[in-house]
Structure 1
Amino acid sequence: MSYTELKREVYEANMELQHRNLVIYTFGNVSQIDRDKGVVAIKPSGVSYETMKPEDIVVVDLENNIVEGSMRPSSDTKTHVHLYRSFDNIGGVTHTHSTYATAWAQAKQSIPCLGTTHADYVHGAITCTRDLTDEQVNGDYELETGIQITDAYKARDPMAAPMVIVAGHAPFTWGKDAAQSVYHAALLEEIARMAYLTRTLDPNAAPLQQAILDKHYLRKHGKDAYYGQN
């Protein structure tokens, strides 16, 4: 894929965030990696969606050096790059401050699997990370945020739970490419909203029983999946 094609795909994925009402003003960013070239294309820092153009997308290498582009890349670039380095199977990363997912992050609570909508897309709870220490915040903050996420996945398959909420911060999602990472961001926001409403109606609502959780996840994503068309 040429840089022009890569930047176009990342631009379109970023614009989809706005279309899905997952961002306002300059909130959020989407990236995509070209592993053959060893580069990542990502939204420029602080540029509004109303004025951004495909050529504004910035391309960096895996050492966070600008390869192509006249603007500074997103301030979250080091987080994205760390995720690509750590999760071999992902091709796109999205970061938003969508309302309900961010509310769970600010409450520093993981989102329990309360129903089959959640179970269709995530095998278990949506993890809220641990807090960063003051030393980490005052150090290489964006890199430490990436480490904060990957630490939460030491015993978990990132593709079985392609979304996380960062304590006190906001969500990150990922997928096979930029477009799928945005799709997961939209799913996360809806799941977070449903969970909030459920816990508002019943603060003691119990997680879905494991057998139903497994059935709904595996019928879509397991080796013998039968949901959809071949």
Structure 2
Amino acid sequence: MSDYQQLKETAHAANMQLPDLGLVLFTFGNASAADHERGVFAIKPSGVPYTELKVEDMVVLSFDNELIEGDLRPSSDTKTHALLYKNWPEVGGIVHTHSTYGTAWAQTQLPIPIMGTTHADHLTVDIPCAPPMADEMIAGDYEHETGWQIINHLAQLNLDPMEIGMILVGNHAPFTWGKTAEKAVYNSAVLEEVARMAHLTLQINPAAPRLKDSLVTKHWERKHGKNAYYGQ
């Protein structure tokens, strides 16, 4: 049995949730799970359909993108995952999809505005959208630079990655993360649903107002604040 069996099982389970949640089509996405104590992560292999994906197919790499274990080529987005794990020690899982509504927002190069309490239950700001990369970055180590595009945009906005958990990359698609791979998948589903709600809201009323601050605070605090009372 692999020394990384549990990590590979975690990554496999996260990947298998993506088609079940309607977040991926064919092979349009990937999920990974990290072990920071060992400095490694497991990720989906490139181009393998979810219907054929097995635990033993997961590829294990270091945070410096060095192959540790696996017979298949890792996801084409592996360098993005590796850079984020290397820079964000609290992140245990990352998900990248081309989900329909999230990707549509990314293609507008606009953040997803906070318009309702569903959004405020999960974060208190717009879901950010990093601008498309400069030409020299695109021509260079593209997937590695995508990681820097995410990190740098959050830093420019003075946003804590662990409080946000999600971002759009302009003209590309969503990336989400969390303390666990399961949480990263959850955030991916939340992003897609919030993107869909915002799209429909603006179709019904293009002048629909943003959520007022008092409701943002109330819904965030009741779920995440010091005196939170949501859930058991």
Mapped partners of 1:80, 1:26: distance in 2: 17
Matches within 5 A, 1:78-89: 78-89=79-90
What's 1:210 paired with?
A: 213
Mapped partners of 1:67, 1:197: distance in 2: 45
Q: Which has the higher helix share?
A: 2
Mapped partners of 2:145, 2:227: distance in 1: 38
**Aligned residue identity for 2:99:** S
**Aligned residue identity for 1:71:** L
Residues 105-132 of structure 1 deviation map (CA, whole Å, 9 limit, x = unaligned) = 0011100000000000112100010120
Mapped partners of 2:162, 2:20: distance in 1: 25
What's 1:184 paired with?
A: 187
Aligned to 2:53, what secondary structure does the other structure show? coil
What's 1:194 paired with?
A: 197
What's 1:124 paired with?
A: 125
TM-score with structure 2 setting the length: 0.96
Matches within 5 A, 1:86-97: 86-97=87-98
Structure 2 stretches of 5 or more lacking a match?
Answer: none
Residues 40 and 59, structure 1, Cα contact 8 Å, conserved in 2 = yes
What's 2:171 paired with?
A: 168
Residues 64 and 83, structure 2, Cα contact 8 Å, conserved in 1 = no
Mapped partners of 1:56, 1:17: distance in 2: 17
What's 2:70 paired with?
A: 69
Aligned to 2:162, what secondary structure does the other structure show? coil
**Aligned residue identity for 2:74:** P
Mapped partners of 1:162, 1:215: distance in 2: 20
Runs of 4+, deviation exceeding 4 Å? none
Mapped partners of 2:85, 2:225: distance in 1: 24
1:223 aligns with 2:200: no
CA RMSD of superposed structures (Å): 1.2
TM-score with structure 1 setting the length: 0.97
Mapped partners of 2:180, 2:3: distance in 1: 15
Matches within 5 A, 1:18-37: 18-37=19-38
Mapped partners of 2:59, 2:214: distance in 1: 45
Mapped partners of 2:92, 2:163: distance in 1: 15
> What is the count of residue pairs matched by the alignment?
229
Mapped partners of 1:220, 1:40: distance in 2: 30
Shift of 1:2: 4.4
Residues 42 and 74, structure 1, Cα contact 8 Å, conserved in 2 = yes
What's 2:6 paired with?
A: 5
Residues 123 and 160, structure 1, Cα contact 8 Å, conserved in 2 = no
**Aligned residue identity for 1:82:** L
Shift of 1:157: 1.2
Q: 1:205 to 1:2 in 2, by over 3 A?
A: farther
**Aligned residue identity for 1:159:** M
Shift of 1:164: 0.5
What's 1:106 paired with?
A: 107
Shift of 1:66: 0.7
Mapped partners of 1:78, 1:157: distance in 2: 21
Residues 126 and 163, structure 1, Cα contact 8 Å, conserved in 2 = yes
Percent sequence identity over aligned pairs: 52
Aligned to 1:114, what secondary structure does the other structure show? coil
**Aligned residue identity for 2:105:** W
